[in-house]
Structure formats: structure tokens, C-alpha cells
Amino acid sequence: AVVSTQSTGIRKIEISEVQWYSYVLAGYLGIAKRINTLPPGLQVMVDGSVPMSAGLSSSSALVCASALLATLVLKDKSLSREQIAELCAKSERYVGTEGGGMDQAISFLGVKGKAQLINFNPVRCEPVTLPDSVTFVVSNCLVNKWKADGTDFNNRVAECRLGCKVLGCKLGSDWRSITTYHHLMTSREMTPGQLHQNALQHLHSHPYSKQEIMEILGCSEEEFSTIIGRSNNKQFKLFDRADHVAGEAARVAQFHKLCADGNPNAEELGALIDASHLSLKDKYNVSIDELDTLTQICREAGALGSRLVGAGFGGCTISMLPKSMEKKFIQEVYEKYYAPRNLKFEECHGRHIFPTSPGHGACLLEGL
């Protein structure tokens, strides 16, 4: 990492040649920059069981743990959990990933035994009670995706950013002030269904070129480059990405409503999870053959719903299934997916396929 300083403290942070420990640096330096203090060196031991490059937010976990440690070392205890989550989302961008903030939010605001409905600007969470009758199982498709390479991930971010600006422009909004679809929906009091209808009306289904978008927005090449950030795309699928965002927002709202009403139908929840994967595959184009195969095997093994988790392009699926089927489910998925890849059950269980449940957010343990 390169930390540029001036007489009043830290001016700029740059992290190059990204390695796993770059995420540790990102969190630590993010807190140091907030209080404008050049941080002392540390000797740190890192341990964990979250698979790397598997779409399970291992990188964000390192950022969050490091930032939490930094608040202790640098004696900055003024941040709320919500504030430190937002700061960690920004800090992770030092590594080169144009992420949002969901991973960091759940890392700090998780509640044991509860799902969380996460909202942003500012970050806030609402606990969601899941059915007692179900459990969740994570399965790794064994294709690793190194998030810091950033290309595919950052391209999707750029397409969504451009899409909300183009749609906002078509609707007569000040497109320069619009940065996300959530912002567009809020500013125009749109529901997910209305966003979908506006996308159908104002965005064409075939990819947009850079020149076409610049002409619609009336922006310069320099301004366009600023909007797309680290993306290297030449063509931009604005409608498909908008369609996915609208659909996913509607599914999240429906999932939350079913749970909030009490005693939700688990099959209805599972259908929403399946629909999410189909949209990620066909509209957001972040699934791969191995993930599609694995989710299908999970459904055949008894999952009520199964979808990829994380940024896609590899990594894991998460499946919701009846608690009573957990052991049988894990065995069947092993036999159909992992055994043909010459892996022993002992190698997979607990490492590539394992049950999971919501846990408490990050915290400091002192005096051990």
C-alpha cells in the first residue's frame, strides 16, 4: 500500500498488486484516513473458515475485521455499527472493486437467528424472522472467482449506473444527480413494478454503445469515463440490468412481506429464491454452467429454492430446504456433484457443502 501524507495527515491511499492481505490493509487504512492519523504497524494473526474466492464475502470480512481492530488500536470508538459499515464499503474500493455495501452492512448489523432487510442512504436494517421449519445449506461449485480482478463485477456496476442515468434522463430527471436505481425510484416515487414498466418503455433490449449513451446524456468522453469507473465494457446491456434490478427489488419486498405476515409458506419463499437465480442467470448474466448445474441438483435433492450467492461467475449457491431433509440433502448433492469430481465426502462436508444460519455481527473480544 502507498499512503500519501501531508502536514495535516493522510492525503491519499493506494493499494496495488492486490493480495488477500490487501483487504486487511484497506479496512485498517480506511479508519486511519477517517481520523487523519498515520497508523502504527501491527503484527496480526488471521484465522477463519470462510472459503476464499467463493462468493461468501471473505474479502469483506477481512476489511470489516481489520477496521474494527483499527478502532481499538487508534482509539476511535465514536463510530456506530452503521457508520463503520458504510466506511468499510468505501474502504474496500481501495482494492479496486466497485462494490455497494450489503456485505459490510450484514457483517456489522447481523442478528443471531434473523435475516436482515438492508436499506441504504443511510445504512439501516430490519430483522426478518424466517420459518422455523427450514434451514439453509451452502454449496461450492468449486470455480473460484477472484473479486479483486474486478472486471466482470465492475462492468455490472457500470451498466447499472449508466442505466439509471439514461432512464432518469428519458424521464426528465437531472441525470447527473442520480447514482443508483434506488435513488431514481425514490426521487420519482416509483415502485419496482413502475421501474420495470419505465424500463420497458424507455430502454431498448439490445446493447447500447458508448457513443449512443453519450448522445442521450449529452456528456463528454471524460465525463462518461468518470461514470463507468473501472469498467472496460464496450457494449452496455442497460435494459436487462434494469429488468433484473426491478425484479429483484420486487422479490425482496415480497419475501419480506411473506415473513412479516407470520407463518409464511416455505414453498412460496423458495419460488422467489429460484426466480432470483433465473434472473441472475438470464438478465444479469453472472451465473456460469457449474452454478446452474449445482442449483438444479440442489432442487432435485429437495431444496425449496436455490440460487447463486455473492457476485457470481463462480463460488457458491445457497439453498433453502426443510430441516428434516438436511442430512439426506447433503448426501445427495455430494453424490451428484462432488463425487463425479473425485472428491471424498470427508473432503466436502463442512468445507464445500455445509449448513448455515444467521449469526451475530462483528464484535471485539477483549480480555481473553
9: left (phi over 0), alpha (psi -120 to 50) or beta: left
First to last CA, the chain: 31
Other beta carbons less than 10 A from residue 174's beta carbon: 10
Read out DSSP for 278-289? HHHHHTS----H
156: which 3 cell numbers?
455490472
Of 302, 258, 250, nearest to 279 by C-alpha is: 250
Q: Which strands, in side-by-side order, build the sheet including 134-140?
A: 305-308, 316-322, 134-140, 353-356
Of 97, 68, 108, 221, nearest to 156 by C-alpha is: 97
Spell out a b/e string for 317-350, using b for 16 or more CB atoms within 10 Å of the CB, else e.
bbbbbbeebbeebbebbbebbbeeeeeeeeebee
The vertex-161 CA angle with 159 and 156, nearest 5°, equals 35
Q: Identify the burial level of 247 via C-beta atoms within 10 angstroms of its C-beta, where 0-12 means exposed, 13-18 middle and 19 or more buried.
A: buried
Alpha helical stretches, state H, the chain: 22-34, 58-73, 81-91, 102-109, 151-170, 181-187, 192-202, 210-217, 221-228, 238-260, 266-282, 289-300, 326-333, 345-348
- Residue 190, SS3 per DSSP: coil
The residues pairing with 353 across neighbouring beta strands, listed in sequence order, are: 139, 349
Single out the catalytic residue among 47, 103, 149, 174: 103
Q: Catalytic site residue 103?
A: yes
Just list the catalytic residues: 103
